[in-house]
Structure 1
């Protein structure tokens, strides 16, 4: 999930305004995805660092964002300054969205007319009485229309969702300490950058692809996943009915080599099938948590 996707609407448009007013005083690139710069605020200049691939690691010393994992307008302004193509794409998307929204309004009006025309006399009378019973005047009618309009819009947006839950689960299964994983939320393609097993040229090609459209990719953090994986081991052991086996496994997973010792133990105690079923459900929960954290909608294609 990109930096723009996780910023609030206010931060996004104020940041765009700051960039347009040339409030990004200076910036430089630290590495492939990280930039630092100075952005002029209302009453002071602020030091800003953004990480395009891991936007939650971005930070700013302004009063609004200092010490908090949020995206402020200064970060957005720096992002547009560091990645000019992103600004051009954003402006173009705004224009396209406005045009699509106008077309959609026409479709809604058409649908409402068809719906009203389909009502029988008694049904139409019942609908009219329901509205009048609330003593609604002109402004209230507009409110009801907007509510219905938003409902339809949400339903249509759901049809556009392409990202599958199973894709994110597969990506979680692929992650290792040597790799960075990126999921294309539009095509469900999983991209892996691996400094140990893949040639440098191939890794750089993937990173360039991700950097061109960072908002299109979900990045999966290995260290967060590792912490979750360990907690899964403990939860699995907690679920065992045989107290003696559970106690032995608790001892095995303490300290270094916990995962390899755990894998040995489940083979030793013939718990492999049970573990894989448990792990599958746990990964699905983690995938949902990750998607929710990044405000991403998805298709739940995993059988219950």
Structure 2
């Protein structure tokens, strides 16, 4: 079965501390386990299902494997001069993500950032598929 790259991309875009996403190899869809203590959501037996059928479910990349901070750094490295300098300062210390996004907006390069981030996520998704030995297909627009 070929997996739809969009399913992988959605899980990468949604990755956060509260959810762990898995690819269901039987359906080709993603499922998630919620951190019940934080979200209050009940996993309704899914955790048991995943433990009992580990060959059916592949854990998708987590927030920590995606390294959003590194993606911001790589974007900055594509820029030159004052824009790069300002963004490098913006990502230092606490609140780096919010300052980065605010600065990108003020500079008028939001679309450039979103395009870069989307392409980076796409590369992560295709690399993950290759590492898992999965064939994938990209949906046509």
Identify the residue that residue 265 of structure 1 maps to in structure 2.
103
Match of 1:231 in 2: 70
- Tell me how many residue pairs correspond in the alignment: 138
Decide whether the 8 Å contact of 1:237 with 1:249 is kept in 2: yes
- Contact 1:163/1:187 (<8 A) preserved: no
8 A Cα contact 1:182 1:191, kept in partner: yes
Classify 1:166/1:302 alpha carbon distance in 2 versus 1 (closer, same or farther; 3 Å).
Answer: farther
Shift of 1:302: 6.2
**Structural RMSD (CA):** 1.9
8 Å contact kept, 1:162–1:185: no
In structure 1, distance between residues paired with 2:13 and 2:94: 21
State the alpha-carbon separation in 1 of the partners of residues 101 and 140 from structure 2.
Answer: 25
Unaligned runs of 5+ in 2: none
Indicate the structure whose relative CO is greater, using CA pairs within 8 Å and at least 6 residues apart. 2
Distance 1:302 1:263, change over 3 A: farther
Say which of 217, 222, 237 aligns to 2:57.
217
Consecutive unaligned residues of structure 1, counting only runs of 5 or more, are 1-160
Q: Does 2:130 align with 1:292? A: yes
